[in-house]
Amino acid sequence: MNLEDLYTFSVVAKEQNISKAAEKLNFVQSNITVKIQRLEKEYRTQLFYRHRHGVSLTSTGKTLLGYAEKILQLMDESKKEITYPKFPTGTLTIGAMETTAAVRLPPLLSAYHKKYPAVELVLQTDSTDQLIKKVVNREIEGAFIGGEVNHPALDGIDVFEEELVIICNSNHASNIEDTDYLRRQNIIVFKSGCFYRKVLEDWLRSQGIIPEKMMELNTLEGIVGCVRAGLGISLLTKSVVDGRNQNKELVQYSLPHKEGRVTTSYVYHKDSVKTPAFHEFVNMLTSKQ
């Protein structure tokens, strides 16, 4: 057995398809097959079920995958621990909700880049649910999410406190507290998994309101633009709305304190590789508190 065989096995397990794994690894399919057969011979067991859609792990294959991921991670950690210089370099990949990325992160990332110019910063935006999955799967090194940390594999720190506001077109200001008005409105939100969307849906339900229409958009500017045009209502952070309401076309309605004050946390995997670039980023966040 060698590390390349284990890595190939893990890629096939993830792709669930030998041809896709071969394309990703830039191998011919027969090369992939030989490596898998070599592992199966060594462990004296079948690792995959073959079917017309691809492959799937057997129970023993699932067991081996757990060990393979640990072995590959340890090898990666050993290389980074030995080869990384003490002064931060390399890449730091983080995730954030789009609202956080739009308002809170630019000055923070600018200060970090100024202090550690050798670090390449990579930022991915997504919903809180998807960001948590990416951190758990170690696809990114950390993420800014809405609410408190609530996953056994993750640690985190509280970074920002946000005030949440419902917004509507200024022409509808007198209706914003009217239950029938809210029930008839398009609820303009990010896709499912967005923390702020869940807060809005929970608050509406607490008021006995089941929205009749919902509009999902992929961008912050799209949501603000649609609300500004009178197409419906949404819920965003006050910091985001204040920066996009110079012409006073939006009216803000503050939620009660319990629902209207939320924490943005920075979360990271307890067992992931902690590079100097990561440590300095967390130190910068901690110093803000």
> pLDDT digit string (tens) for 195-252?
888 888 888 888 888 877 888 898 899 999 999 888 888 999 999 998 888 878 888 8
pLDDT the model gives residue 174: 57
CB count within 10 Å of CB 182 equals: 19
Q: Specify the CATH superfamily of domain 90-161+263-287.
A: Periplasmic binding protein-like II (3.40.190.10)
Report the distance separating Cα 183 and Cα 204, nearest Å. 9
In tens, the pLDDT along 81-112 reads 666 666 788 899 999 999 999 999 999 999 99
Q: Per the structure block, which two tokens stand in for 279?
A: 């440590």
Q: Is 179 exposed, middle or buried (0-12, 13-18, 19+ CB in 10 A)?
A: exposed
Please, what is the average pLDDT of the chain?
Answer: 88
pLDDT the model gives residue 147: 85
pLDDT mean over 121-134: 94
Q: Per the structure block, which two tokens stand in for 164?
A: 């949440």
Look up residue 208 and give its amino acid.
G
Closest CA to 115 of 157, 87, 86: 87
In tens, the pLDDT along 24-75 reads 999 999 999 999 999 999 999 999 999 988 999 999 999 999 999 999 988 8
Q: Which residues contact 137 (CB under 8 A, 6 or more apart)?
A: none
Domains 3-83 and 90-161+263-287 in one fold:
no
pLDDT the model gives residue 41: 93
Q: Per CATH, the architecture of 163-261 is what?
A: 3-Layer(aba) Sandwich (3.40)
pLDDT mean over 4-16: 92
Q: Show me where the domains of the chain are located.
A: 3-83, 90-161+263-287, 163-261
The answer to whether residue 177 scores a pLDDT higher than 70 is no
Name the phi and psi angles at 218, rounded to 5: -100, -10
Q: Confidence class of residue 282 from pLDDT cuts 50, 70 and 90? A: very high
Positive or negative, the CA dihedral 233, 213, 223, 285 is: positive
CATH code at 3-83: 1.10.10.10
Q: Are 52 and 69 in contact (CB under 8 A)?
A: no
In tens, the pLDDT along 234-249 reads 999 999 998 888 878 8
